[in-house]
Structure 1
């Protein structure tokens, strides 16, 4: 499985998704500021995260992903997505520090 990460500094939105998977359903978490996309088997395959640079950490997202995965039976991809989210958060934050 291969993940793709994209960050748009103009909108401050980060997207991480599983390559080759197309979403068939989405769930919006307005209070937390992100969207989860699901494939045809109800697997979480993508996240769109708003206000990426303003976030101190990703604990709210990880908490919802954990609940979605274990409570609702959604599966696959989550360990990779969570691991890569933390890595990309560090990279984008470091890049932002260098460019400001």
Structure 2
């Protein structure tokens, strides 16, 4: 697992597996994007607006 913060777009990316994403699901009400591989398994999670969430103390559950 790897975690990267992209300050220029305020997105935290959590890479769960070293497989390419072939599809994504945008969950707008939560401000996240799930990336899926060819077996429909989640390989990455994008969390938009990370700096604001961190300030508010939001939990990732």
TM-score (norm: length of structure 1): 0.52
Match of 2:35 in 1: 37
User: Does 1:12 find its partner at 2:10?
Assistant: yes
Instruction: Report which structure shows greater RCO (CA 8 Å, sep ≥6).
Output: 2
Tell me if the contact between 2:11 and 2:50 (Cα under 8 Å) persists in the aligned partners: yes
| Runs of 4+ displaced beyond 4 Å | none
Q: Which runs of 5+ in 2 are unaligned?
A: none
Match of 2:58 in 1: 57
Tell me if the contact between 2:14 and 2:45 (Cα under 8 Å) persists in the aligned partners: yes
Structure with the higher strand share, 1 or 2:
2
Q: How many positions carry a matched residue from both structures?
A: 58
Residue 19 of structure 1: how far off its partner (Å): 4.3
Cα RMSD of the aligned pairs, angstroms, is 1.4
